[in-house]
Amino acid sequence: MKNKSFLLIFSLLINLNVYCQGFIPMFNEYLSENLYFIHPAMVGVNLSGTRIQFGNRQQWIDIQDAPGTKLLTLEYKAKANSIFGVQMIDDHNGYHSKNSVFITYGYRIYLNNQIWNTKRSYPTKNDNIKELSFGLSLGSVKYNLDQSSFDLRLIDPLLDNNSSQERYLTFDAGIAYVSTHLSSQFSIKNLTLNPSNKNNEDLNIFDSNNFKHYLFSSQYEMYFDNGWNLEPSFLIQYLEKTDERSFDYNLKVYRIIPDGRVWLGISYRRNSVGISYERNGSIKNQYYKHITPIVGLNYKNYVVSYHYTLNLGEQDIGLLGLHYFTLGITL
C-alpha cells in the first residue's frame, strides 16, 4: 500500500512531464525574468549586449536521489534585428538523466522605429517599446539510463548493466509581441522529434505527429508614479499527446530602487488531468496544483531570484517542496 501511494504521489507531482519526455520538466522558472526559457521568440528581449543566466532547481531535498535541474541561458544581440541564444539544461532523476542543448535565432521588428538601447534589463513607464519577434530553436536532447549499479543477478533482456543513451533532435518556434505595457507570446515545441538511433523510430512516444507542446502567455505591466509597478500574467500549456492542459496565474509587484528594482510575486498552477486514489474507503480524484511565492532583485547588471514551490494536493511527497535559485548578469 505504501508503494502504491508513492507511485500515485509521484505521478501527480510530475504529470505534466512524465508522459512527454521530449522536454525538460518546467515549473515557474520563466518568472525569474527569463521568458526565453519557454519562448524562443523572447531571446534577447530588452537586451543591448550579452546576457547570461544560471538557474538551479532542486526538488524534495529531504528525499534521496530526488529530481534536480541546472539551467544555463546565454543571449547575444549580434545586430539591431538579429539575436542569438543558447540554452543548456542538465536534468537528473534517480538513475535517469537528460542533457539538452538548444541554439536559437531570433529576429526582431521595431514597430515604433525606436531600437532598445539601454543597459537596463527591464522597461520603465518612460520607455516606448513596441516590438514583434520571431524565434526558432534547434535542440539536441540526450537521455541516459545509468544501469551500472543494478543487480547483476537480474536477468532481463531490457537491461544490459551499463549506461544506455539515446539522442533526439527537435525544433521549437514562436512569435512574440512586446510593448511597454502589454506583451504576449505563443510557441510550439517539439515541431519534430526524431531519434538519432534509427532502430527506435517506431517508438510511438516519439511520434512527432502528436507530440507537440503549445504555450501561450501574456503579461500586463502597470506603472505608478510612486515607484511601484504591478504585473498580472498567465501561461496556458497544452500537451498534444496526452491532451493535458495546464494554467498558471501569476502576479508580480515591483519596487523601483536606486540602480534597480525589487520584486515579489506569486504563481498558482492547476493541471487538467485528475488521478483517482482511495482514501478511507472512498475513491477521490486529485488534480495537480501548486503555489509558488517568488522574490527577486534587479541591481545594475545583475539579477537574482528565489522560488519555492509547494504542492497543494492532499497526496504529497517530500517535506521541503521545490527550490529554484537564479543568478544572471548582463554584459
**Can you read off the three cell numbers belonging to residue 7?**
507511485
- What pLDDT is stored for residue 298 in this prediction? 92
Q: What are phi and psi of 279, to 5 degrees?
A: -145, 115
For residue 69, count other CB atoms closer than 10 A to its CB.
Answer: 22
DSSP secondary structure code for residue 61 in this structure = T
DSSP 64-96: TT--EEEEEEEEEE-SSSEEEEEEEEEEEETTE
DSSP state of 205: G
- Where in the sequence is the domain holding 198, given as residue range(s)? 2-330
Query: At which residue does the C-alpha cell 495546464 appear?
Result: 246
At residue 92 the predicted structure's pLDDT band, cuts being 50, 70 and 90, is confident
CA distances from 325 to 72, 241, 265, 312 (A): 12, 31, 14, 21
Residue 145 has pLDDT above 80, yes or no: no
**Position 318 pLDDT exceeds 80:** no
Residue 106 pLDDT = 97
- Say which CATH number the domain at 300 has: 2.40.160.40
Q: Which residues contact 24 (CB under 8 A, 6 or more apart)?
A: 17, 69, 71, 89, 91, 98, 100
Eight-state DSSP code of residue 128: -
The one-letter amino acid code at 154 reads L
- What is the rounded CA–CA span in Å between residue 260 and residue 72? 23
Are the beta carbons of 141 and 100 closer than 8 angstroms? yes
Q: Is residue 168 predicted with pLDDT exceeding 90?
A: no
Residue-level pLDDT at 46 = 86
Tell me what the pLDDT averaged over the chain comes to: 81
pLDDT of residue 21: 44
Provide the percentage of residues in the chain whose pLDDT is more than 90.
44
Using DSSP's 3-state secondary structure scheme, residue 286 falls into strand
Q: CA–CA separation, 289 vs 314, rounded Å?
A: 10
Grouping H, G, I as helix, E, B as strand and the rest as coil, residue 318 is coil
The per-residue pLDDT for range 173-226, each reduced to its tens digit, is 999 999 989 999 999 998 876 665 544 444 444 454 568 899 999 999 999 988
- Residue 31's pLDDT is 93
Q: What pTM was estimated for this model as a whole?
A: 0.82
Q: According to DSSP H, which parts of the chain are helical?
A: 2-13
Q: What is the mean pLDDT of residues 97-110?
A: 92
Is pLDDT above 50 for 283? yes
Count of domains observed in the chain: 1
pLDDT at position 158: 60
Q: pLDDT value at position 265?
A: 96
Of 58-62, 110-114, 286-290, which has the strongest mean pLDDT? 286-290
Q: Which residue from 18, 195, 159 is spatially nearest to 91, judged by alpha carbons?
A: 18
Q: What pLDDT, in 10s, does the model give residues 11-54? A: 443 333 333 444 556 788 999 999 999 999 999 988 888 999 99
Q: Which residue has the higher pLDDT, 158 or 256?
A: 256
- Which residue has 537491461 as its cell numbers? 159
Q: Give the integer Cα–Cα distance in Å for 171 and 40.
A: 10
Structure confidence at residue 87 (pLDDT): 96
Three-class secondary structure of residue 151 per DSSP: coil
